[in-house]
Structure 1
Amino acid sequence: MNWITGTLGSSIGKKLMMAVTGFSFCGFLAAHLAGNLTIYGGKDAFNGYAEHLHALGPLLTVAELGLLTLFLIHVITGLILFLQNLKARPVRYAVNKTAGGRTLGSATMPYTGVLILAFIVFHLLNFHFVDKTDTTIFNIVSEAFSNTGCVVIYILAMVVAAIHVSHGFWSAFQTVGANHPKYMPAIRAVGIAFAVAIGIGFGFLPIYIFLLA
């Protein structure tokens, strides 16, 4: 028990928690996108997908609570690591270079993370914590994305999410030890491809609904 506590309390342990929860969210994003793509099949297909999820009953509730737990671990751990890094280097370097593989994603991880957190709250308020009486999820989505401002917010949020995932994906592999020079270029390429797929996949949905409205 002391070993577990010591490991999770260390910087390496926190990074491992970030990696594990990050992998979980990548899996969730892929599954969530696959489900949302049913909207291209029309109103009945999308409503059928939503009804299938709600038919899971308690299992869906357990999955949502598990996802919430992983999310809280990811956010809190990321915040702790960010504050620890600031404390370790309170004075910024005079010159901010991009050498050593530094990318837009790696340089902005804490900030894109905060923006994603704000977007998730916005998303839940628009689609989860709403009155679903005498309506369908398709109608709720259609009404939300008939608003130009809402569409713009979602598109920008997906750009931010793609930037975050582009670094987080390969960084998680590196954290768990899969950082061999032979494999990392391929992992980086897959990470970028996955991030682009997430950004475009989710980002085009509000545009499609807006054009239908």
Structure 2
Amino acid sequence: MNWIAKTVGTSIGKKLFMALTGLGFIGFLSGHLAGNLTIYGGKDAFNSYAEHLHSLGPLITLMELGLLTFAVVHVGVGLYLFYQNYTARPVRYAVNKSGGGRTIGSQTMPYTGILMLLFIIFHLLNFHFVDKTHTTIFEIVSNAFSNPLYVITYVAAMIVVAVHVSHGFWSAFQTLGANHPKYMPIIHVAGIAFSILVGVGFGFIPIYVSILA
């Protein structure tokens, strides 16, 4: 465990942990989206997917603990790096240009990250930590998205996620050493494509469900 403390104690080590946990969340988003898309198969297909997850029992609990650990590391290290950068240059430059390859995603990473954290808490309170007795997950989702305010909130949150992922995707690979002129353009395109897939894939679900409701 000593090597972990030493690694986290360095700037490069912190970025490595950010990259690894970030890629872990990208993998989770992929799996979560694939599962959520079963909702287009109807309520029986979606409920069957949810029941299959619950049937995994301890394995799901272990995965949830892993995601929680990743979240604590990713958010904690990310906020610390943001604080370090802020204190190193507390006064903003008089001219703020988006040159040097900077994008909306790279410029807003700390802020979109915080918004995502708040949304995840909101999302868990509405879907995970709710009484599921005498009801189904499809009914819970359908009731939630019958509220236009929640639909708007969810769609807006998915836009934030897409912006965050658009930079985080390629940045993670760059941190892990994939910063090569031959491969980085491909990774950039893959990151943008994945961010659009996540934004549209998750974002259209509440609209679809609200129409059914």
Q: Which range, TM-score by smaller chain?
A: over 0.9
Aligned match of 1:88? 88
Aligned match of 1:160? 160
Q: Which amino acid aligns with 1:167?
A: H
How many angstroms apart in 1 are the aligned matches of 2:98 and 2:174? 19
Q: How much identity, in percent, do the aligned residues show?
A: 71
Q: Would you say 1:8 and 2:20 are equivalent positions? A: no
How many angstroms apart in 2 are the aligned matches of 1:160 and 1:70? 20
How many angstroms apart in 2 are the aligned matches of 1:204 and 1:5? 42
Q: Would you say 1:51 and 2:55 are equivalent positions? A: no
How many angstroms apart in 2 are the aligned matches of 1:76 and 1:8? 11
Counterparts in 2 of 1:133 and 1:179: CA distance versus 1, 3 Å: same
Q: Would you say 1:176 and 2:176 are equivalent positions? A: yes
Shift of 1:7: 2.1
Aligned match of 2:136? 136
How many angstroms apart in 1 are the aligned matches of 2:183 and 2:129? 43
Shift of 1:116: 0.2
How many angstroms apart in 1 are the aligned matches of 2:41 and 2:172? 34
Counterparts in 2 of 1:7 and 1:207: CA distance versus 1, 3 Å: same
CA deviation vs aligned residue, 1:50-80 (integer Å, no higher than 9, x gap): 0000000111101101111001100000000
* Number of aligned positions between the proteins: 213
Which structure 2 segments of 5+ residues have no match? none
| Partner SS state of residue 193, structure 1 | helix
| Partner SS state of residue 176, structure 1 | helix
Q: Which amino acid aligns with 1:57?
A: G
Aligned match of 2:37? 37
Q: Which amino acid aligns with 1:127?
A: F
Counterparts in 2 of 1:160 and 1:130: CA distance versus 1, 3 Å: same
How many angstroms apart in 2 are the aligned matches of 1:37 and 1:123? 17
Following superposition, which runs of at least 4 residues in structure 1 exceed 3 angstroms of deviation? 1-4
CA deviation vs aligned residue, 1:35-61 (integer Å, no higher than 9, x gap): 000000001000000000000011110
Aligned match of 1:202? 202
How many angstroms apart in 2 are the aligned matches of 1:123 and 1:116? 10
Q: Would you say 1:26 and 2:26 are equivalent positions? A: yes
Shift of 1:101: 0.3
How many angstroms apart in 1 are the aligned matches of 2:75 and 2:2? 24
Shift of 1:121: 0.6
How many angstroms apart in 2 are the aligned matches of 1:155 and 1:140? 18
Counterparts in 2 of 1:82 and 1:152: CA distance versus 1, 3 Å: same
TM-score (norm 1): 0.98
| Partner SS state of residue 178, structure 2 | coil
Shift of 1:9: 0.9
Shift of 1:3: 4.7
Q: Give the root-mean-square deviation of aligned CA atoms.
A: 0.9
TM-score (norm 2): 0.98
How many angstroms apart in 1 are the aligned matches of 2:3 and 2:180? 27
CA deviation vs aligned residue, 1:144-201 (integer Å, no higher than 9, x gap): 0000000000000000000000000000011011001111111000000000000000
Q: Which amino acid aligns with 2:14?
A: K
Which structure 1 segments of 5+ residues have no match? none
How many angstroms apart in 2 are the aligned matches of 1:105 and 1:81? 16
How many angstroms apart in 2 are the aligned matches of 1:189 and 1:92? 30
Q: Which amino acid aligns with 1:74?
A: H
Aligned match of 2:124? 124
How many angstroms apart in 2 are the aligned matches of 1:121 and 1:5? 28
